[in-house]
Amino acid sequence: RDRDATRARAEGAGPLPSHQSSRPRVMVKAYLRYEQARSFGVVASPDCAPVYDAGGKNLVCAALERLAVWDVRRGILASSLVPPPRESGALPAVTRIARAPGSDVVAAGASDGSIRLWNLVDGSTDVLLKGHKSEVTALRFSRDGSLLVSGGKDTNVVVWDVVAEAGLCRLRGHKGQVTDACFVDGDNNADTRGASASGRRLVTCSKDATVRVWDLDTQHCAQTVSALGAEAWSLDVDARGARLAVGTSDDRLHLFAVAGGKSTPTPKGSDSDENTDLVAAETETETATANRNEPKAPLTREQIASSIEDASRTLTPMGHLPRADKSRASLVRFDDDGELLGVQTVGRAVEMYRVRNDAEMAKRRKRKAKRKREKGRDGGGGDDDANENENVAADELELAAVVRTKAKTRGFAFAPRSRRGRPGVRAVVAVLLDNNAVEEWELEAADDAAANDAATASASKFAEPTRSRALEAAGHRSDIRAVALSSDDATLVSCSAKGAKVWDPSRGACLRSVDGGYGLCVAFAPAGRHVVVGTKSGALELVDVQAGARLRGAPDAHEGAVWGVSTLPDGSGFVSCS
């Protein structure tokens, strides 16, 4: 109709009708759409604990949506594992990391509920698992690496088959966020379970203040521990599979005996221990693969009832141990040998507890029984036999050392035994801090001679932990207050509370770090070689970008904080304001 009216006016047919001439003309304006291309300067995200690779050379940390693999000895970024881009929107942040025992396969849980499997050797990822509606908050492989368990904020627990790349079952029962999970081996008595039952159990904890034991053969919750009295935040089973430690939101560390665990500790002092563990892991993997390929007959009603009954006796309470720090226990982990138990708090400490051996346990219990008998002869004792094993957790664990950091801790990881280089080093621990840094600490025996003796190593005391390395040069310790890009887009300068850093924006690599005042603004000089940084104290600092050195500036330029710096149009100087 508009086309006909225009043609009629061109042919002299008169003006357009009033209803057409008064209609407003719609103007369409196009806007540029910007999406995040990349990010850099993140050493480690504070919401995800790091993990070591199989050899202990590299440390895998979550860095927003990617995985940063750091060479700990050299302090450089070995590789960066970035997931494939989406059609639209930003990629989800990594919230949990877990490594399969004895391999370089790493699972990364994300904030959108997805789980991606990575190969650290070639940096490839071919498996994406989706089973949660919200953030993944718990992730753990089985001992043979064939199964993966994940828990989320949606209160669901999902068990995955890593080889088949598919989910096996979804377990519902928790009323709050699932905070941690681990696999345990049940009773090895096949006569009571039946030939079709594997006896594999799963233990989970949640913010609903419960610890649940799941029978994976029947996919039922067989045991619920609700006497913790506080939210359960983390749990772990030792290398023998005999003890389960649970950290809660109060100042108590709970200990449970696991049915079916090995009663004898792993031998120490042998160079073949690590090779033995690798062979055992390979054997377990081959056995699990063979069992998966074999067809299994469905369980009978009697076998189901027997399996659930056996699983209901998986955990036996052994009491609790009062911790040195009164804050919440965010992470609980045993080392590879099961001789040390680390407890990370929400403060500035990681507590290290030593697990006493059988000889020390027997001696302590004997001394304890003697005191009770003497107390009974004095008329104040009761039934000694009934109270002889009371609060066994305090008998098995003792506080050996405390790793104290300057910033708040957000996670930690024990390094493999291969990282214990010199004699006397009992453990190497990587501690994640909330200021975008990771520190590596060494725990040494107080007496080196005693530590070298395998017979007395477990009884030796620990010296004060020492910080050996730190991953901190590739990022700021506090908020970035200002950035400036050079005229040729080849150099980027950022400033924060402790100084300025020079970056290569094309690679995202930190080229130089310059110590200085609390920077609030920054601007490049016309030539591009120097930058001017305005600080909170009112000083103007001149920094040589290429040399990475701070030159003579104006320390008393302003009486207050400098909030802006801008160069003059002719390049003859600059203007600052406060």
User: Could you tell me the pTM of the whole model?
Assistant: 0.83
Decide if 393 contacts 370 (C-beta within 8 A). Answer: no
**What CATH fold (topology level) applies to the domain 134-327?**
Methylamine Dehydrogenase; Chain H (2.130.10)
The answer to whether 514 and 495 are in contact (CB under 8 A) is: no
* 530-535 and 482-485 beta bridge pairing: unpaired
The percent of residues in the chain predicted with pLDDT above 90, rounded, is: 60
The highest-confidence range among 14-23, 183-192, 505-514, by mean pLDDT, is 505-514
The DSSP annotation for 449-469 comes to: HHHH-TTTTTTPPB---EEEE
Specify the residue for token string 């304001």. Answer: 577
Band of the pLDDT at 350, cuts 50, 70, 90?
Answer: very high
Predicted pLDDT at 201: 92
User: What 3-state DSSP class applies to 482?
Assistant: strand
Q: Is the pLDDT of residue 432 over 80?
A: yes
Task: Count the neighbouring beta carbons within 10 Å of the beta carbon of residue 24.
Answer: 5
Confidence of residue 12 (pLDDT cuts 50, 70, 90): low
Return phi, psi of residue 402, to 5°: -135, 120
474-524 confidence digits (pLDDT tens):
999 999 999 999 999 899 999 999 999 999 999 999 999 999 999 999 999
Mean pLDDT of the region 306-325: 88
Distance CA 317, CA 46 (A): 33
Distance of alpha carbon 75 from alpha carbon 209, whole angstroms = 40
Mark 160-190 as b/e (b = at least 16 C-beta within 10 Å): bebeeeeeeeebebbeebbbbbbbbbbbeee
487 class by beta-carbon count within 10 Å (0-12 exposed, 13-18 middle, 19+ buried): exposed
Distance CA 96, CA 104 (A): 16
State the residue for tokens 């927003």: 64
CB-facing half-sphere around the CA of 434: CA atoms within 13 A: 12
Please give the angle made by the CA atoms of 84, 85 and 88, to the nearest 5 degrees: 150
For residues 406 and 416, the answer to whether their CB atoms sit within 8 Å is: no
Residues 6+ apart with CB under 8 A from 281: 101, 102, 143, 144, 145
Give the chain's largest Cα–Cα span.
Answer: 127
Structural domain boundaries of the chain? 134-327, 482-577
Residue 8 CA, chain-centre distance (Å), reads 74
